[in-house]
Amino acid sequence: MARYDPAAIEARWQQEWDAAEVFKARPDPDRPKYYVLEMFPYPSGNLHMGHVRNYAMGDVVARYKAAQGFNVLHPMGWDAFGLPAENAAMERKIHPGSWTYDNIANMKAQFRSLGLSLDWSREFATCDPEYYGQQQALFLDFLEKGLVYRKAAVVNWDPVDMTVLANEQVEDGRGWRSGALVERRELTQWFFRISDFSQELLEALDGLDRWPDKVRTMQANWIGQSRGLRFGFACETPVHGVEAIEVFTTRPDTLMGASFVGLSPDHPLAKALEAENPAIAAFCADCRRTGTSEEALEKAEKRGMDTGLRVRHPLDPDWLLPVWIANFILMDYGTGAIFACPAHDQRDLDFARKYDLPVKDVFHSLGVERKAEKTNSPTPLDSPELGSDVAFVPPRTEKVVYVRPVAQAGHEMTGEQAVENTIYLAERQGWGTGVMQYRLRDWGLSRQRYWGCPIPVVHCDACGVVPEKKENLPVKLPEDVSFDRPGNPLDRHHAWRNVPCPACGAPARRETDTMDTFVDSSWYYARFTSPGAATPTDRAEADYWMNVDQYIGGVEHAILHLLYSRFFARAMAICGHLPDSAAEPFDALFTQGMVTHEIYRSVSQKLFAENDGTEIQIVHEAYHLPKDVVFCDVGGQREAVLRSEMVEDKFDPDDEQQVKDYLNVFGRTEIQIIPSAKMSKSKKNVVDPVGIVDRFGADTARWFMLSDSPPERDVEWTDAGAEAAHKHLARVWRMASELAPSLPQAGESGAEAAPAGVSDPALARLAARTIHDVTQGIEGFAFNTSVAKLYAFTAAIQKSDAPATDRAAALRILARLMAPMTPHLAEEVWRMLGGTGLLARQPWPEADPALLVDDTVTLPIQINGKRRSELTVARDLPKPEIEAQVLADAAVQKALAGGAPKKLIVVPGRIVNVVV
RNA sequence: GCGGGCGUGGUGGAAUGGUAGACACAUGGCACUUAAAAUGCCUGGGCCGAAAGGCCGUGCCGGUUCGAGUCCGGCCGCCCGCACCA
């Protein structure tokens, strides 16, 4: 008897699809287009399960939309620039380019085995000169439109390796290779003017109604619009020509509770003071030893130093406030200077307590104020001013009593109102301006690295910064570089670096910085519409294919990648490379969860006595590959044993009984099973898709990745689950192959064999219901529920005693519904059961609406909210008649005990609740 | 630290504010088989009960509602992001 043989089936159908060019996308004005895009992968060398899940989901959408008659564009490429290639080059002495292209070849072969409906003719890698050359053209266009500029910015500097470090290369303030303390260093770098678009990027989020709310919220918070007041604290005596310190505050209403003025260590005034005061210089230098990441700054211990300067309160010239430099004040936000009101800001309060600075309440809560009146106490007992270490920070919409207001005393109002009043007052009195401030900073794109897109400008002593001529693009990366010395190889490659100035022809130097890899991924979706164009895009193609109708990827890209792409689409539209209608490039977004796997960890602790007699403890953690472990149930508890240990003790790990015996003899093992952990090589819990495809076939891997867990949530890879998926697919195949011989052969009784519908009433109803539910599941990105319905349908077909032709018709519907998920098996079943042509070209089945409605409904009857009985009635029975029947129900009668119900709630078609 | 999300049986999960646990895994039982594999069928939250049935139950505490896994407030735990990882 033949068996389900995925290896043969999958290879055959992949060839047929290729030969027929089923997935090649061509513009067709007569058909609606649909552009499905999954975030392209970094070519690390191997596909992992996260990829399989991501691309399986995209493939469901692509194949489903194609079946619905859309002209589908479903491309794939490689996000191929970046640090790992340079790390590999350093470690293995190979060129980043050859490492990358080898990885791409490897991964592409793995991709192809999955049978995804991709148009490979559009493939490109961002490290292809054809791609990054067009990116350089974009850069020059942006430069011309004023969307790029240069300014100084800080980087992490490793003083030993003499190189700039990425944030991830900084561990606890030290360089990951050298271990040296990292310093902050200022360099002149290129920036995109994304902050000019802050308001627009924020407002346009409202229109992205097919994006997850969480992503829109995260982006809105990231852009961080806040209304506040900008004003100056006049210096008691001007220092270094500075007459006043400009601050920005979102809480001007707390001005009368001001305690001190704080400066960022990177503030110009702080720098000026540094030059003359060694103590300040030492303090600032110390602050600069933290990494540049916001996280590092926020987590660092809050520290400050009094500069000795004094400034005047804007509303009371006699009130002098001290000026401090504090490490938690960011130069990038607002003016790099703040005033602190400790009573109503926890961080300020902590700081004030630490350095013994004054704390004055500005407002109290209504309740506390009233309680204070009652107890005859002048101020509430538990306020920061009276010593509490908890700042009073009510929601801005809550009414409070102002005890130190900027304008009138004792007013009850919300923080919001008070802020607006203060801004109004400040503007009228001329000491401050109300402004809209954004947290979003300009996007620094310069990277001091080799493996990235060269920034196409030349530095000339006479002409300054000169853009490279477009006809000279691409500015290609030189091939002959080495990574045996620290620093950027482009810097020391004189032949590449020394070029004539494009403007005057005098000897000049190329820019040696390359672009952030986020630039590469900010417009690849546009390039896919015309990957061979001699300009960044071909407008006719872009106009036809844009926007991306469905974008799919991980939540980890919720902010940066997606925000940068939104900026790029706008910038490209300004330069004419995209239509204005593509300013929001992704109509719908879906963020899928991770694939996780158990970790098997053993921890051994050993005590050693050193020579001098002191004992030290060594804790040794080891992780074990799934294949090195066997499992056994011990009293309902799943236990893991190392195979090697069993073998050592002369037990056979492949014999279930011996595993039990072993556990009985040796008791519990040291191996901990940690579930649902993110896959990582160091934890040895990575499942290799190649092995799974070899063992079970691509359809099984795809089916399992789509079943069980909701797509937006993490899914745990388990062998048992994969085996179950495989068993199910084998069952479908077996049902089809057993049924096939009993069907009239094509040509025998006409070509009628295939199209015949399901005539068995029960099976026909279920088929219609399944079509409806599976379609709903796919539309709503609930593939796991679609899969559940398909399981149920399969079981029903198997149990059905309807004639073979009916069951075959039902199976053909099953195949069509499974086609987006398990395309190879679906084609095979379709062909076995007399389907004509490629299933990949068949339209999506439609449910007969008449079969979807039932004549009767069963209503659960609740008594006081608990289900006690049920009632089956005609679907459209009027409410009064339902009520009558409910009251006649035995359980209801019993509960009422002769009385009348307090309330009777009838939700037609849903439920009945009797309140007694 | 800040921002966002998630939390339901032994496990993954299902459930427009309306019968909590669909579907699947694991477990246990049965059938087929010389045996095994494969396959099929049944069971499947906890407690009490012979059963009928009852009580409890969606991380914890409280609230809104005829009715809360779902909505609101407060906690706890885990995950993601924090601008030079991609």
Task: Decide: CB of A151 under 7 A of nucleic strand B.
Answer: no
Which nucleotide is nearest, taking the CA of residue A865 and each C1'?
Answer: B67
User: Rounded to whole angstroms, how far apart are CA atoms A735 and A829?
Assistant: 9
User: Rounded to whole angstroms, how far apart are CA atoms A844 and A829?
Assistant: 16
Top pLDDT among A495 and A410 is at: A495
State the pLDDT at residue A754.
Answer: 44
* Run of H or E residues at A661: helix A656-666
In terms of Cβ atoms closer than 10 Å to its own Cβ (0-12, 13-18, 19+), residue A367 is exposed
State the pLDDT at residue A647.
Answer: 82
User: Rounded to whole angstroms, how far apart are CA atoms A262 and A324?
Assistant: 5
Is residue A595 very low, low, confident or very high in pLDDT (cuts 50, 70, 90)?
confident
3-state secondary structure A531-596: CCCCCCCCHHHHHHHCCECEEEEEHHHCCHHHHHHHHHHHHHHHCCCCCHHHCCCECEEEEECCEE
> 3-class DSSP state for residue A838?
coil
| Orientation angle between helical segments A278-287 and A268-276, nearest 10 degrees | 130
Top pLDDT among A634 and A767 is at: A767
Task: Decide: CB of A858 under 7 A of nucleic strand B.
Answer: yes
Residues 799-818 of A with CB under 7 A from strand B: 799
Task: Decide: CB of A864 under 7 A of nucleic strand B.
Answer: yes
Distance from residue A767's CA to nucleotide B57's C1', rounded to whole Å: 36
- Tell me: cis bond preceding A421? Omega within 30 of 0 counts: no
Q: Closest by alpha carbon to A873, among A863, A891, A862, A886?
A: A886
User: Rounded to whole angstroms, how far apart are CA atoms A882 and A859?
Assistant: 10
Amino acid at site A400: V
Q: Are A177 and A159 in contact (CB under 8 A)?
A: no
- The nucleotides of chain B lying under 7 Å from a protein CB are 1-6, 10-16, 18-20, 22-28, 38-41, 54-55, 66-68, 79-86
Between vectors from CA A396 to CA A391 and to CA A399, what angle results, nearest 5°?
95
Distance from residue A906's CA to nucleotide B17's C1', rounded to whole Å: 15
Task: Decide: CB of A866 under 7 A of nucleic strand B.
Answer: yes
Question: SS3 helix, strand, coil % of chain A, rounded to 5?
Answer: 40, 25, 35
Is residue A670 very low, low, confident or very high in pLDDT (cuts 50, 70, 90)?
low
State the pLDDT at residue A407.
Answer: 76
Give this complex's ipTM. 0.93
Edge-to-edge strand list for the sheet holding A363-365: A363-365, A399-402, A412-414
Q: Closest by alpha carbon to A916, among A863, A860, A859, A862?
A: A863
Distance from residue A643's CA to nucleotide B35's C1', rounded to whole Å: 28
How do residues A255-309 score in pLDDT, each as one tens digit?
999 999 999 998 999 999 999 899 999 999 888 888 788 888 888 888 999 999 9
Task: Decide: CB of A780 under 7 A of nucleic strand B.
Answer: no
pLDDT of residue A381 exceeding 60, the answer is: no
Residues 513-532 of A with CB under 7 A from strand B: 516-518, 521
pTM for the structure as a whole: 0.91
State the pLDDT at residue A801.
Answer: 87
Q: Which residues of A423-449 are buried (b: 16+ CB within 10 A; e: fewer)?
A: bebbeeeeebebeebbbbebbbbbbbb
Q: Which residue is the nearest neighbor of B19, CA to C1'?
A: A860
pLDDT of residue A677 exceeding 90, the answer is: no
Nearest-Å Rg of the Cα atoms of chain A is 34
Separation in Å, CA A761 to CA A182, A744, A788, A807: 74, 22, 22, 12
Determine phi and psi for A405, rounding to 5 degrees.
Answer: -80, 160
> 3-class DSSP state for residue A466?
strand
Q: Are A537 and A577 in contact (CB under 8 A)?
A: yes
Distance from residue A467's CA to nucleotide B72's C1', rounded to whole Å: 58
Average pLDDT over residues A116-143: 98
Determine phi and psi for A811, rounding to 5 degrees.
Answer: -65, -35
Q: Which residue is the nearest neighbor of B12, CA to C1'?
A: A708
Edge-to-edge strand list for the sheet holding A71-73: A71-73, A33-38, A550-554, A589-592
Task: Decide: CB of A4 under 7 A of nucleic strand B.
Answer: no
Is residue A408 very low, low, confident or very high in pLDDT (cuts 50, 70, 90)?
low
Provide, rounded to the nearest whole percent, the portion of chain A with pLDDT above 70: 93
Top pLDDT among A85 and A612 is at: A85
User: Rounded to whole angstroms, how far apart are CA atoms A716 and A714?
Assistant: 7
Q: How many CA atoms, within 13 angstroms, populate the side-chain half-sphere of residue A651? A: 22
User: Rounded to whole angstroms, how far apart are CA atoms A589 and A554?
Assistant: 10
Average pLDDT over residues A732-751: 74
Which nucleotide is nearest, taking the CA of residue A449 and each C1'?
Answer: B84
CA A485 to chain centroid: 36
Amino acid at site A658: Q
Least-confidence region, from A78-82, A250-254, A876-880: A876-880
In terms of Cβ atoms closer than 10 Å to its own Cβ (0-12, 13-18, 19+), residue A238 is exposed
Which nucleotide is nearest, taking the CA of residue A911 and each C1'?
Answer: B18
DSSP state of A21: T
State the pLDDT at residue A539.
Answer: 97
Residues 300-339 of A with CB under 7 A from strand B: 332
How do residues A835-893 score in pLDDT, each as one tens digit?
989 999 999 999 988 888 888 888 888 888 888 888 888 888 888 888 888 888 888 88
Which nucleotide is nearest, taking the CA of residue A860 and each C1'?
Answer: B19
Q: Where are the alpha helices (DSSP H) in A33-95?
A: 49-67, 83-92
Q: Are A244 and A234 in contact (CB under 8 A)?
A: yes
| Orientation angle between helical segments A698-706 and A823-832, nearest 10 degrees | 110
Residues 625-664 of A with CB under 7 A from strand B: 633, 636
In terms of Cβ atoms closer than 10 Å to its own Cβ (0-12, 13-18, 19+), residue A636 is exposed
| Orientation angle between helical segments A804-818 and A761-779, nearest 10 degrees | 0
Residues 471-510 of A with CB under 7 A from strand B: none
Task: Decide: CB of A913 under 7 A of nucleic strand B.
Answer: yes
How do residues A435-462 score in pLDDT, each as one tens digit?
999 999 999 999 999 999 999 999 999 9
pLDDT of residue A375 exceeding 50, the answer is: no
Distance from residue A66's CA to nucleotide B44's C1', rounded to whole Å: 41
User: Rounded to whole angstroms, how far apart are CA atoms A51 and A381?
Assistant: 59
pLDDT of residue A571 exceeding 90, the answer is: yes
State the pLDDT at residue A744.
Answer: 72
pLDDT of residue A578 exceeding 50, the answer is: yes
Separation in Å, CA A849 to CA A15, A125, A765, A768: 37, 47, 10, 8
User: Rounded to whole angstroms, how far apart are CA atoms A443 and A449?
Assistant: 17
State the pLDDT at residue A486.
Answer: 78
Which nucleotide is nearest, taking the CA of residue A711 and each C1'?
Answer: B13
Q: Which residues pair with A425 in a beta bridge?
A: none
Task: Decide: CB of A911 under 7 A of nucleic strand B.
Answer: yes
pLDDT of residue A897 exceeding 50, the answer is: yes
Residues 362-401 of A with CB under 7 A from strand B: none
Q: Are A624 and A648 in contact (CB under 8 A)?
A: no
Average pLDDT over residues A367-394: 64
Distance from residue A591's CA to nucleotide B13's C1', rounded to whole Å: 19
Separation in Å, CA A384 to CA A322, A369, A393: 20, 14, 11
Task: Decide: CB of A154 under 7 A of nucleic strand B.
Answer: no
Amino acid at site A162: M
Amino acid at site A48: H
Distance from residue A734's CA to nucleotide B39's C1', rounded to whole Å: 11
Average pLDDT over residues A488-509: 94
Q: Which residue is the nearest neighbor of B28, CA to C1'?
A: A636
- Tell me: cis bond preceding A474? Omega within 30 of 0 counts: yes
Task: Decide: CB of A822 under 7 A of nucleic strand B.
Answer: no
Cβ-based neighbours of A96, under 8 Å, separated by 6 or more: A85, A86, A88, A89, A450, A451
Distance from residue A885's CA to nucleotide B15's C1', rounded to whole Å: 27
Q: Which residues pair with A465 in a beta bridge?
A: A459
User: Rounded to whole angstroms, how far apart are CA atoms A795 and A225?
Assistant: 55
Residues 448-477 of A with CB under 7 A from strand B: 448
Q: Are A326 and A346 in contact (CB under 8 A)?
A: no
User: Rounded to whole angstroms, how far apart are CA atoms A734 and A279?
Assistant: 82
Task: Decide: CB of A867 under 7 A of nucleic strand B.
Answer: yes
Determine phi and psi for A202, rounding to 5 degrees.
Answer: -75, -50
pLDDT of residue A603 exceeding 80, the answer is: no
Q: Which residues pair with A840 in a beta bridge?
A: none
Distance from residue A62's CA to nucleotide B23's C1', rounded to whole Å: 25
Provide, rounded to the nearest whole percent, the portion of chain A with pLDDT above 90: 57
Residues 258-297 of A with CB under 7 A from strand B: 292-295
**Mean pLDDT score across all residues of chain A:** 88
Which nucleotide is nearest, taking the CA of residue A560 and each C1'?
Answer: B83
User: Rounded to whole angstroms, how far apart are CA atoms A592 and A589?
Assistant: 10
